[in-house]
Amino acid sequence: MSVHLFIAGDSTAANYPSNQAPMAGWGQMIDRFFTNNVVVINKALCGRSSKSFINEGVLNKIINSIEPNDYLLVQFGHNDEKPDKALYTEPFSTYQECLRKYVNGARKKGATPILITPVSRRIYDNNGNIKQTHGDYPEAVRILGHDLQVPVIDLCSSSTALLESLGPEESKRLFVWLKPGEHVNYPEGSRDNTHFNEVGAKKIAGLIVKELLNFSIPLRNYILNRAC
């Protein structure tokens, strides 16, 4: 029996075409941590916030397709922060209100929602510590998860720890950092501190899967040993 793992999120989770390689989202890599019983349906889209994803009807499409015993991973925040009326949400009001719709929609269909705090950006202070650029959004997810008794994967914390352990130079190998002429898709090079390359996307997906092992949910039974 197949289990469907739906992903709702932004560019850090999205699938990317070959002409944007090596850029990749964690949702593009997460299937390799599961047995063939898990079918990943990645609906994450670049440039979306928790609000715009709903307003564009993408959440409704997921809810119409999701079935009992399926799962919905939800990660937003990068674009909810932007001062754009179509995107912006306030952490402890509209952001949480939007996330409730994902949770309630999945639960009404008998599926299991899992909230994820936004992944950290590769921005360091002078002491080699990651700057917390997401403000109150991660805490808003943690609080909402507690209130609704929804599993929360604290990707903000785990990715911060990962990037700080690597340091400013070594961490570049996880992101789309390229010298001019190094890759055909980025002839002028790239210094992207938000979006991952394939190595980084797989690493972030691994962080998520490791936290899934902490939850008493059937999905953990389909996780391969290499994710441990």
Residue-wise pLDDT for 28-66, tens only, equals: 999 999 999 999 999 999 999 999 999 999 999 999 999
| Catalytic, out of 4, 11, 52, 93 | 11
Tokens, residue 130: 């990651």
Q: Taking the alpha carbons of 47, 206, 139, 217 in that order, is the dihedral positive or negative?
A: positive
- pLDDT for position 226: 62
Percent of the chain with pLDDT over 90: 98
Percent of the chain with pLDDT over 70: 99
| Catalytic, out of 165, 169, 188, 216 | 188
Q: Is 77 left (phi over 0), alpha (psi -120 to 50) or beta?
A: left
Query: Which among 81, 155, 67 has a CA at the least distance from the CA of 111?
Result: 67
Identify the three-state secondary structure at position 203: helix
195 annotated active-site: yes
The predicted model gives 136-157 an average pLDDT of: 98
Quickly state the pLDDT bin for 225 (edges 50, 70, 90): confident
Strand pairing class (38-42; 175-178)? unpaired
The predicted model gives 175-201 an average pLDDT of: 98
188 annotated active-site: yes
pLDDT of 2 > 70? The answer is yes
| Catalytic, out of 158, 159, 195, 211 | 195
Average pLDDT, the chain: 97
